[in-house]
Amino acid sequence: MRKYDKEFKEEAVKLSDEIGVKQAAAQLGIAYYSLAEWRQKRKAFGDHAFVGSGIHRDAPLSENERRLIKENMELRKANEILKDALGFFAKDRKR
């Protein structure tokens, strides 16, 4: 699988806007479905469609989302502690 850099993808999508996806793909020597996928990404993410390595296009989390994630982690830890305690007491009852 060939990797294309951000600039190439942006220019390819611009060309496909002008002459069409099928012709642009043939002219650039890339697969039609690749160019179509790049166009979908541009439509969904706009300027952040083609990110470099190490960069995420995820939107920043809201304060409420951060709070819920933290609460979820605490509840998972508490659940693990309760499972361990249940195993401890169940083993003790079998004697």
Query: For 29-83, what is each residue's pLDDT tens digit?
Result: 999 999 999 999 888 888 778 876 555 556 677 888 889 989 999 999 999 999 9
* CA distances for 52 relative to 9, 61, 76, angstroms: 12, 21, 34
* CA distances for 85 relative to 14, 76, 79, 88, angstroms: 61, 14, 10, 5
CA–CA distance, 83 with 89 (Å, rounded to integer)? 10
Model-wide pTM > 0.85? no
